[in-house]
Amino acid sequence: MEKVVSLCKRRGFVFPGSEIYGGLANSWDYGPLGVELKNNIKNLWWKRFVQSRDDMVGLDASLLMNPKVWEASGHLKEFSDPLVECKQCHTRFRVNEAWSDEVWWELAKKLEKAKVSDKEKLVQETLKECPNCGAKNKFAAPQRFNLMFKTLIGSAEGKASEAYFRPETAQGIFVNFKNVLDTSRKKIPFGIAQIGKAFRNEITPGNFIFRTREFEQMEIEYFIYEKDWKRSFDMWLLEMKDWIKEIGIDLKKIHEYEHPERDLSHYSKRTVDFEYDFPFGRKELYGLAYRTDFDLKNHEKASGQNLKYRDPETNEEFWPHVIEPSLGVDRTVLAILLDAYDDSVEGRVVLRLKPKLAPYKAAVFPLLANKPELTKAAREIYDELRKDFSVTWDDRGNIGKRYFSQDEIGTPFCITVDFDSLEKKDVTVRDRDTAKQERIEIKKLKEYLRGKLD
């Protein structure tokens, strides 16, 4: 993990947020290469799940929404973490994370039945020692902390009203369900997809970009007939696995985790997480949930607007049920980087990214920097390729160093223009993964690259 974090900083994938001011805890900024990788992931997802399918449309809703949305969705009441605080060092813990799920469930069961005055003692008896400062029996009774970020709309003193940044992109989809239905004329089963930022006041963020307070999600709400939910759930399990394969994550490191009933979110009847073997443990990468008709039903009740779907055959009106594949962009970036990082070859680091995800598809070099004829020819190739591909230029140091530098950022092909190129109109193309070199005609370069990107 340290090696990947260090590479990200050194080569411009991810920087600590607000670094010149000493940073802001757990905030991260994507640098020139990170933003390319992230955009490639999002574009691939959009192409695969929106543009290539007849049963899907896209949406881009606001981050700030009417606060009534969060009342209706249950987030104001339910979207909170129960935390215990050590009265000595004031560190707050999620019991399931600092101890284990089992310890938390046992404790939660006892707390449910206990009198308010007994709760503190119960926590102390169960948890005993603070994992941070070692203080014995200093825990306070658990308290719930809502995870939503509050802000104020309007600047006039006393007139500003409270609002929340969305904690999931999903609700933007539900509140636009009718608009999308009326304008796209889709028939169920169909889905609405959205990529965008979500905000959570996480109490225990950490592990680089794994858990942050501001992150990006790629979510689909897939609207179905209730009777089809099991079939649709299974279909999306397969779709998510195929996606994971497509982005080059080793399926051996992926584990499906079925949430036990007691652990389900307030809206879900079934949830399966795709967990990944991160260096800091097996943790959630993505989630798939059966949200029933919970959201549309509640938004209809709260807004007074009819959010039902009219079946074109039977004319029956009902709230469609929903299957929700929810994917974190930042966790995808992290898993991809961890999987691609390879320092097993003596003396060099190779980022074995899938070529279609690599920030640069190719690097173009003149063999020697001080020969204007080579620079001119290389520059022409570079300018032509950049019309169709993300490519980079390098004429510093020797060829070996340039290869090393491109390997480390995952550039799959290095194109060198030498003296033979001027006569024979071909170039050397060196493959990142095999380190093999071959001569390719300049006029066939685009076709060559295109063939390698699928």
Residue 30 host element (H or E): strand 28-30
- Considering only 215, 229, 294, 365, the residue that binds ligand GAP (CB under 6 A) is 215
Nearer to ligand GAP, 145 or 404 (CB): 145
Part of the chain binding ligand GAP (CB under 6 A), chosen from 124-132, 209-217, 398-406, 410-418: 209-217
Nearer to ligand GAP, 163 or 289 (CB): 289
Q: Which of 416, 420, 413, 400 is nearest to 448 (CA)?
A: 413
Sign (positive or negative) of CA dihedral 398, 425, 408, 26: positive
CA gap 71, 352 in Å, rounded? 45
Smallest gap from residue 143 Cβ to ligand GAP (A)? 20
Q: Does 298 bind ligand GAP (CB under 6 A)?
A: no
362-366/413-417 β-pairing: parallel
Edge to edge, the sheet with strand 270-278 lists 56-59, 190-199, 214-224, 321-328, 281-292, 270-278, 254-258
Q: Does 200 bind ligand GAP (CB under 6 A)?
A: yes
- Considering only 13, 30, 286, 294, the residue that binds ligand GAP (CB under 6 A) is 286
Nearer to ligand GAP, 169 or 428 (CB): 169
Smallest gap from residue 328 Cβ to ligand GAP (A)? 2
How many angstroms separate the Cα of 53 from the Cα of each of 48, 347, 423?
Answer: 7, 45, 47
Q: Does 358 bind ligand GAP (CB under 6 A)?
A: no
Part of the chain binding ligand GAP (CB under 6 A), chosen from 2-10, 239-247, 250-258, 326-334: 326-334
- Considering only 211, 299, 430, 432, the residue that binds ligand GAP (CB under 6 A) is 211
**Whether the Cβ atoms of residue 332 and residue 41 lie closer than 8 Å to each other:** yes
**Whether the Cβ atoms of residue 168 and residue 217 lie closer than 8 Å to each other:** yes
Q: Does 331 bind ligand GAP (CB under 6 A)?
A: yes
Part of the chain binding ligand GAP (CB under 6 A), chosen from 94-102, 213-221, 309-317, 337-345: 213-221
Smallest gap from residue 290 Cβ to ligand GAP (A)? 12
Q: How many residues bind ligand GAP (CB under 6 A)?
A: 19
Sign (positive or negative) of CA dihedral 348, 353, 354, 355: negative
Q: Does 244 bind ligand GAP (CB under 6 A)?
A: no
- For ligand GAP, the binding residues (CB under 6 A) are 168, 170, 200, 202, 211-212, 215, 217, 219, 284-287, 324, 326-328, 330-331
